[in-house]
Structure 1
Amino acid sequence: MSLLRKIFQFSKTNPTPKEDDAASNEAINELENKPVDEKFAINFKNNGGKFLYCESMDEAFENFENIVYENKWEHSTLLCLDKALKEKFAKSTVKLSAEAVNADCFLATCEFLVADTGAILFSSEQITEKNIKEFPDYLIVFATTSQFVKTISDGLQGIKMKHPNRIPSNITTIKNFETPIDDNFMTYGSSSKKLYLLLLEDL
């Protein structure tokens, strides 16, 4: 089992009500000093995301099929705007279409995985000019280990380097992967999506 697989199997922990400030600060400092992949893993899972580490494309395909089966989407059509991504999962039991109306799930790639917040960074390359809220409640994101960045600023710089001739528009992040329990001003307007991350080892 690889180091990355072990990293992403960390359990989500809940702080105890009586946790003192010293212990809390120590935990924060410890997290800040972790490598970007491990830091992302912890923050992503604390955000409510579901992670599936894949050492090969065959394993990624198998995990994708398991997600489809788990959610009973075998006879559904899932939304996918990326032609290359549709080819990767073309042998799936589920149909992938850019024209899917009222789809149960959106399959997409992303620009980067942001370690310090556990967020997924998207642009118009993946979501066109649509708002994240316009997509289905379920998202399956296919990414690779080379897409880790430490901060949003690093991600924005990376986008400029990836697209030197034309910087994509509609750059946005999503980091809330659980439905907010309280409907108040702190959660108003946020985009909560149930998100699966298929992370393929490419380093």
Structure 2
Amino acid sequence: MSLFKKLFGAADSKEEKETENIYNSQHDLPKVPVDERFMLNFKKNGGKFIYCENLDEVKEQFENILEENDWFESEVMCFEPKLHILLDENKLEHANVKNPIFLFASCENLIADEGSIFLSSNQLKQNKPNQLPSNIIILATTSQIIESTSDGLRLIKRKYEKNYPTNITTIKYFDKAKEEDFLQYGSTPKNLYLLLLEDL
């Protein structure tokens, strides 16, 4: 074997060992559960997370958000009749509103690897994120937390079979973008509260 091969052969095997060690160390780390990963990424994105054990806590925390922001007797954007009872109980106008203070909605899923909210026309009709109020309250359940957007698309396909919702989007940024953060370019940051109801 020539000196050239010995030198480069040794270098190759050393490089392979280093790569193998990095790979193994990454895979030896315990995998963070999907719900924890969602919460960490969601908070990192600037979202406000409120855990609720039951529907009474959901009502109480919803009222706390209204009080904190002085949103009582405001106009609200909400397209889901199942959520209207909570708005009616708090005297919030949701029919034919002109200047809604916040959007109140459920969601399709919560995406763990991005810490994002997965929405569709079921929650937004045809409104794009930049057409929504800057304040959003989302009501979701722990069973809606999934790994990735692709999992969300598969679940939508399975859930709706033929009547697929349109306007499928994710909302990911909940803080004003920093000037130097090009990853948020073109996004519309929202002041977002998540009421997460335990259902597992």
TM-score (norm 2): 0.82
Cross-structure match for 1:46: 44
Cross-structure match for 1:170: 167
Amino acid at match of 2:196: L
Cross-structure match for 1:133: 130
* Residues 21-40 of structure 1 mapped to structure 2, 5 A cutoff: 33-40=31-38
Unaligned stretches of 5+ residues in structure 2: 1-22
Amino acid at match of 1:78: V
Is residue 86–residue 96 contact of structure 1 (8 Å, CA) maintained in 2? no
Cross-structure match for 1:76: 74
Any idea what the Cα deviations from partners look like across 1:124-154, whole Å, max 9, x if unmatched? 1110111011010000000011101101111
Separation in 1, partners of 2:186, 2:176: 12
TM-score (norm 1): 0.81
Structure 1 pair 115–45 and aligned structure 2 pair: CA distance change class (3 A): same
Q: Say which of 114, 120, 133 aligns to 2:111.
A: 114
The secondary structure found in structure 1 opposite 2:174 is coil
Shift of 1:88: 4.1
Cross-structure match for 1:201: 198
Amino acid at match of 1:103: P
Any idea what the Cα deviations from partners look like across 1:18-54, whole Å, max 9, x if unmatched? xxxxxxx9xx879881111011000000000000000
Structure possessing the higher radius of gyration over alpha carbons: 2
Separation in 2, partners of 1:118, 1:133: 19
Cross-structure match for 1:97: 94
Which has the higher mean CA deviation after the structures are superposed, 60-69 or 158-167? 158-167
Aligned residues: 178
The secondary structure found in structure 1 opposite 2:165 is coil
Shift of 1:189: 1.4
Shift of 1:191: 1.6
Separation in 2, partners of 1:154, 1:187: 23
Separation in 2, partners of 1:169, 1:117: 21
Cross-structure match for 1:61: 59
Cross-structure match for 2:139: 142
Is residue 114–residue 172 contact of structure 2 (8 Å, CA) maintained in 1? yes
Unaligned stretches of 5+ residues in structure 1: 1-24
Structure 1 pair 35–136 and aligned structure 2 pair: CA distance change class (3 A): same
Larger helix share, 1 or 2: 2
Separation in 2, partners of 1:60, 1:186: 33
